[in-house]
């Protein structure tokens, strides 16, 4: 098992990364949460594929839980769904001393995290990310949010999880496009903070070459993010580095009405645009964009 700590002064927490760790989730949660009641928030795809494994693990740990299964997709990050989660928890008598378990990709992590930040003024939560994007990015750092009609992530809070449990084995069922989208964030980490990771990704040459190294790749990305978040939890300085490619990327996502491009595709194109802009402004030579484009292409990303 690979272990990392997000070193926040008030609420440090661990990220545990291990193939096949999901069946141990109940026991691991018991190490950071003394209660027995939880709301498991998930989406239908994840629940169909892996719900039983999580259930068995929580049962074995003697936990009582109510499962809230939401539709898959970005539309789930909306007020109506958030309200449904909170009303369901209220109906079941959930208290501030209970736990939320966010079991899914970034959509579930964001909406469940926001419910955790706000229900009864905040209760503890654990992230069990199931997409590559969530494992390397969204499950770490405590940004939670839902979308408004006027734009993405406009309603949210910084609220750190108690624990992140990451099982790279779950990535085997991820659709190709989603895997590639997660790789865009991986390549982003390499570009902003790790020449060594960049070279490793070049050497692997694409998904099939990288497949057996995912645990190490996730670990490297999470350690970069954990370091940056520890310096700048509230995103006013160093954390902005994590937005490389995201200004153009978000514009592209929006122009495609969040349907044409998934987030990672926007980030991929956005990083190329940023690199080209940097080149045009004389910040760096042409080799930067060339290497970036080649690497993105080898992981099936648009450039
Ligand atoms: P997602 O949660 O929509 O998941 C993508 C698809 O994969 C869904 O259909 C889901 O059901 C399916 N899926 C999930 N796990 C699976 C598995 N193991 N096998 C098969 N299918 C699986 O999308 P995402 O890319 O994980 O997350 C995108 C969201 O994350 C966006 O809303 C974005 O704003 C947010 N985000 C948040 C942060 C943050 O710091 N909070 C950072 C980056 C992105
Ligand atoms: Mg991103």
- Residue 167's pLDDT is 98
Give the whole-angstrom CA distance, residue 16 versus residue 192: 23
Closest listed ligand to the CA of 161? 1
Cβ of 293 less than 6 Å from ligand 1: no
If you measure from the C-alpha of residue 248 to the centroid of ligand 1, how many angstroms do you get, rounded to a whole number?
20
Cβ of 71 less than 6 Å from ligand 1: no
Cβ of 76 less than 6 Å from ligand 1: no
If you measure from the C-alpha of residue 32 to the centroid of ligand 1, how many angstroms do you get, rounded to a whole number?
25
Cβ of 215 less than 6 Å from ligand 1: no
If you measure from the C-alpha of residue 72 to the centroid of ligand 1, how many angstroms do you get, rounded to a whole number?
9
Q: Whose CA is nearest to atom 43 of ligand 1?
A: 138
* pLDDT tens profile 256-266: 988 899 999 99
* pLDDT tens profile 16-54: 999 999 999 999 999 999 999 999 999 999 999 999 999
- For a ligand 1 pocket test, name from 153, 178, 214 the mutation site with the most ligand atoms within 8 angstroms of its C-beta: 178
What percent of the chain has pLDDT above 90?
95
Give the contacts of 285 (CB within 8 A, at least 6 positions apart).
279
Is the pLDDT at 171 greater than 90? The verdict is yes
If you measure from the C-alpha of residue 49 to the centroid of ligand 2, how many angstroms do you get, rounded to a whole number?
25
Q: Whose CA is nearest to atom 27 of ligand 1?
A: 106
- Residue 297's pLDDT is 98
- Residue 257's pLDDT is 87
Is the pLDDT at 189 greater than 90? The verdict is yes
pTM as predicted: 0.97
Cβ of 135 less than 6 Å from ligand 1: no
* pLDDT tens profile 208-263: 999 999 999 999 999 999 999 999 999 889 888 999 999 999 999 989 988 899 99
If you measure from the C-alpha of residue 187 to the centroid of ligand 2, how many angstroms do you get, rounded to a whole number?
11
Residue 23 has a CB neighbour count (10 Å cut-off) of: 13
Give the whole-angstrom CA distance, residue 21 versus residue 204: 25
* pLDDT tens profile 103-155: 999 999 999 999 999 999 999 999 999 999 999 999 999 999 999 988 889 99
Is the pLDDT at 58 greater than 90? The verdict is yes
- Kindly give the number of the ligand 1 atom that is closest to the alpha carbon of 113: 41
DSSP state of 9: S
* Mean pLDDT rounded to a whole number for the chain: 96
CA-closest candidate to residue 271, choices 250, 285, 254, 299: 250
Residue entry with tokens 């706000």: 118
Helix (H, G, I), strand (E, B) or coil at 150: coil
Q: Whose CA is nearest to atom 30 of ligand 1?
A: 106
- Backbone phi, psi, residue 275, to 5°: -65, -40
Mean pLDDT of 86-101: 98
Positive or negative, the CA dihedral 286, 287, 288, 291 is positive
Cβ of 224 less than 6 Å from ligand 1: no
Q: Whose CA is nearest to atom 2 of ligand 1?
A: 105
Give the contacts of 172 (CB within 8 A, at least 6 positions apart).
none
């Amino acid at each position: 098992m690979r272990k990392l700590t997000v070193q926040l002064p008030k609420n440090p927490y661990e990220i545990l990364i291990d193939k096949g760790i999901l069946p141990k989730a109940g026991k691991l949660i018991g190490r950071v949460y003394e209660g027995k009641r939880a709301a498991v928030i998930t989406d239908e795809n994840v629940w169909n594929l892996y719900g039983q494994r999580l259930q068995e693990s929580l049962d074995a740990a003697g936990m009582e839980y109510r499962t809230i299964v939401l539709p898959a997709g970005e539309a789930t990050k909306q007020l109506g769904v958030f309200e449904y989660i909170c009303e369901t928890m209220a109906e079941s008598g959930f208290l501030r001393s209970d736990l939320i378990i966010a079991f899914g990709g970034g959509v579930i992590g964001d909406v469940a995290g926001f419910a955790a930040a706000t229900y009864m003024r905040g209760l503890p939560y654990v992230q069990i990310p199931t997409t590559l994007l969530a494992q390397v990015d969204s499950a770490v750092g405590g940004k939670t949010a839902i979308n408004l009609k006027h734009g993405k992530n406009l309603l949210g809070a910084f609220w750190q999880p108690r624990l992140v449990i990451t099982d790279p084995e779950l990535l085997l069922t991820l659709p190709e496009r989603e895997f590639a989208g997660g790789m865009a964030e991986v390549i982003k980490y390499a570009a902003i903070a790790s020449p060594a990771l960049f070279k490793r990704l070049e050497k692997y040459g694409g998904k099939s070459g990288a497949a057996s190294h995912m645990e190490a790749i996730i670990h490297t990305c999470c350690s970069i993010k954990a370091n940056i978040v520890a310096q700048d939890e509230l995103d006013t300085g160093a954390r902005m580095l994590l937005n490389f490619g995201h200004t153009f990327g978000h514009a592209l996502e929006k122009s495609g009405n969040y349907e044409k491009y998934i987030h990672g595709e926007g980030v991929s194109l956005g990083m190329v645009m940023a690199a080209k802009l940097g080149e045009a402004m004389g910040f760096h030579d042409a080799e930067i964009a060339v290497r970036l484009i080649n690497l993105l292409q080898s992981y099936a990303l648009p450039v």
